[in-house]
Amino acid sequence: MKTIQRDITSYLIAGIFGVMLLAEGASFAQTTPSGTKASDKIRPYKVHISDAALSDLRKRIAATRWPEKETVNDRSQGVQLEQLQRLVKYWGTEYDWRKTEAKLNALPQFMTTIDGLDIQFIHVKSKNPNALPIILTHGWPGSIFELIKIIGPLTDPVAYGGKAEDSFDVVIPSMPGYGFSGRPTETGWDADHIARAWAELMKRLGYKKYVAQGGDWGSVVADKMAQQQPEGLLGIHVNMPATVPPEIAKALNDGDPAPAGLSDKEKAAYKSLNYLYTKGAGYAGIMVTRPQTIGYSLSDSPAGLAAFFLDKFNDWTFSGGNAEKSLTKDEMLDDISLYWLTNTGASSARLYWENNANNFNAVNITIPAAITVFPGEIYQAPRSWAERSYHNLIYFHEVDKGGHFAQWEQPQLFAEELREAFKTLR
């Protein structure tokens, strides 16, 4: 059984109800070249969730059938009943999606169709005409909400303690099957496909040169873009780098002790990854093997969806196991509500099935790459491993706060990291 578990883990680490996207007639900055197919055009959109969908959510929350309390005094059996009940009660009685919706609609949002699938994205241009374009990719169980707080510091660095020459034009797409992007109806939308789609998106926006950034799945997509080397991509930054050397990956998969001769940081990384392989990856095991099965629960039970996500918020924030020390209830519920209201629990889970690869094993990237290591990340990549994967490592920095959702938890720090990481590529 242990061998089977590790075999699975080696692969897995790796019409919307009530939702209307309303086209706006206002002019916008993007242009579509003459001769482009109508489906390729970039259309401005706003989001509106129907009153019926919000009412249905509250009714489902009120009708939740709860299990009994866990039989331990810690989180070893998963999300504790008391914490989840507090969050779900707040969701059903006090949380206000309309405020969140207004924040979204205050941002310039767009839609374009790539390879037959609608891709929704936010595009905020800096006032600086020499700003560096950057495409930012979220992960699971994150969304565009984990990236919104860094828009201001990136597009207007002067207002956040930076310099005008540090400006970025920011593009934030929702991945296929996530948020307001389309849900694939056929197989094939894996990380490689998403990476190609992002290159096409940046081309449609008219950018000749740009950089890419990502965490979680966003790191995987950024790595794929770096491997594909589309025209115009200057470099990447990732905060969940893929650095595990082959001999380390084999030892982890075989369940062996840490190999001899590792440095202290390499031993710490091995320990964190070993915990993930043996105890922390159950969430992904079901999604990489049975995304449709878990999707039924995520689509039918708000409390079930919230529990599945809160478990990872607790694990992956730099919070000592209590996500509310890093994120507010409203911030977590913005993200959870987005999945619920767009019914993307199943479609987002399928990305794990599509990927079918270990997302921590060493990559082979030759274009300029930058890495920031956060203390609350799933594992802290040692520089010694990073240099074996990212052969043109232009920036490597270990910071003292922030977790897996670093963009969400520490937006100011994260923006400062991107300014430094890409300084030499401007």
User: Is residue 326 in a domain?
Assistant: yes
- Provide the whole-model pTM: 0.91
From the list 216, 223, 311, 335, the catalytic residue is 216
User: Is residue 268 in a domain?
Assistant: yes
From the list 11, 45, 352, 390, the catalytic residue is 352
H or E stretch including 418?
A: helix 411-421
Task: Kindly report each contact of residues 220-223 with a partner whose C-beta sits within 8 Å and lies 24 or more positions away, as own/partner.
Answer: 220/14, 220/191, 220/355, 220/359, 221/137, 221/175, 221/191, 221/194, 221/195, 222/137, 222/195, 223/363, 223/365
Q: State yes or no: pLDDT of 28 exceeds 70.
A: no
CATH number at residue 397: 3.40.50.1820
CA dihedral sign, ordered 316, 322, 328, 330: positive
pLDDT tens digits, 264-315 = 999 999 999 999 999 999 999 999 999 999 999 999 999 999 999 999 999 9
pLDDT tens digits, 329-351 = 999 999 999 999 999 999 999 99
For the chain, helix, strand, coil in percent to 5 are 50, 15, 35
Identify which has the larger pLDDT, 356 or 48: 48
pLDDT band at 16 (very low <50, low <70, confident <90, very high): very low
415 contacts 389 by C-beta, under 8 angstroms: no
User: Is residue 380 in a domain?
Assistant: yes
Give the model's pLDDT for residue 409. 98
At 199, which amino acid appears? A
pLDDT band at 2 (very low <50, low <70, confident <90, very high): very low
Q: Which domain holds residue 372?
A: 2-66+76-425
Crossing angle for the helix pair 329-342 and 51-62, to the nearest 10 degrees: 110
User: Is residue 244 in a domain?
Assistant: yes
Tokens representing residue 208 in the block: 């000749």
* Residue recorded with tokens 């810690």: 74
Residue 51 annotated to the active site: no
pLDDT band at 156 (very low <50, low <70, confident <90, very high): very high
Distances (CA, A) of 166 to 365, 415, 424: 25, 10, 11
- The DSSP output letter for 393 is E
Give dist(CA 179, CA 343) in Å, integer: 8
pLDDT tens digits, 50-78 = 999 999 999 999 999 999 999 999 999 99
Residue 123 annotated to the active site: no
pLDDT tens digits, 378-415 = 999 999 999 999 999 999 999 999 999 999 999 999 99
As a whole number, mean pLDDT of residues 241-266 equals: 96
Give the model's pLDDT for residue 39. 64
Least confident of 24-28, 102-106, 227-231, 261-265: 24-28
pLDDT tens digits, 162-214 = 999 999 999 999 999 999 999 999 999 999 999 999 999 999 999 999 999 99
Strands 369-373 and 393-398: parallel
Distances (CA, A) of 63 to 50, 57, 289, 298: 20, 10, 30, 16
Tokens representing residue 414 in the block: 């994260």
User: Is residue 298 in a domain?
Assistant: yes
pLDDT tens digits, 101-153 = 999 999 999 999 999 999 999 999 999 999 999 999 999 999 999 999 999 99
Give dist(CA 101, CA 98) in Å, integer: 5
Residue 45 annotated to the active site: no
User: Is residue 71 in a domain?
Assistant: no
pLDDT band at 38 (very low <50, low <70, confident <90, very high): low
Find all residues with CB under 8 Å of 106, minimum gap 6, and list them: none
Q: State yes or no: pLDDT of 356 exceeds 90.
A: no
State how many domains the chain has. 1
**What percentage of the chain carries pLDDT values higher than 70?**
91
The mean pLDDT of the chain is 92
Give the model's pLDDT for residue 357. 82
